[in-house]
Amino acid sequence: MTTIRLITKINAPIQTVFDLARNIDIHQQSTAQSNEKAIAGRTSGLIELGETVTFRGKHFGFYLKHQSKITEMETPNYFVDEMAKGHFKFFRHEHTFVTQNGHTVMIDFLQYKAPFSIFGKLFNNLLLKKHLTDFLLKRNEILKNLAENQQ
């Protein structure tokens, strides 16, 4: 199991950051580098508890589909998306939002398990973990800019 933990400090209200993080349209905008498009389930607006979204995006030269379901939500502090269908053996992304000193701290806690046994472990160590970390960092940078510019 691989874990990625990122902390992003954002000068915006917690509700603003929470809503931007679960906005399907913003997700598509923030993942332009992989040309991600919502193709099934909730395809625009704010995703809610119990809803699914299926994204199709280009990663490592291949178009892949990934369906996530929102399995937990506590507005505006926390939500979890988990893979319902996709290429991982396991995928769970916890999004936590905390107000500290007038700022919002957004914490990403992503746990996943790559498929394909030993080859998956090798692929993860060589490419996948860095790819997912960079993907989240870019997304968080865009969320931060959008949130701070709404002020």
pLDDT in tens, 47-99: 999 999 999 999 888 899 999 999 999 999 999 999 999 999 999 999 999 99
Say how far apart CA 28 and CA 31 lie, in whole Å.
5
Task: Give the start-to-end residue ranges of the domains of the chain.
Answer: 2-149
In CATH, what number does 2-149 get?
3.30.530.20
Radius of gyration of the chain (CA): 15
pTM given for the model: 0.93
